[in-house]
Amino acid sequence: MYSDKICLLCNKLGKYAKAFDAKRDIVSLYTAVLPKVAVKKITYFKRKKSELNDAETDKANNIKLLAAAHEISIREVKEYYNLLNN
């Protein structure tokens, strides 16, 4: 449900629906009273990755190449790099 008014109406109809024994009668009550509401599609925004400058992209490419050449993970290459530079 998309509006507060329809939600309140559904809650109030629930009280009256208890008076019916058959589920078919309850469904016919809801379809007769509630208006048809168009389905609203939820749109999601795709986030763009932050742009890296040329030095950072070169460093990232070098790390990927080293990781592939030595068959270790990128995280391990970064740890070795930080260990040697500190």
How many whole angstroms separate alpha carbon 50 and alpha carbon 58?
Answer: 15
pLDDT tens for 1-16 read 467 887 888 888 888 8
Q: CA-CA distance, 4 to 77, in Å (whole number)?
A: 55
**Residue 29 CB burial class (10 angstroms; 0-12, 13-18, ≥19):** middle
pLDDT tens-place string over residues 13-57: 888 878 888 888 888 888 888 777 777 777 787 766 666 577 778
Distance between CA 62 and CA 54 in Å, rounded? Answer: 12
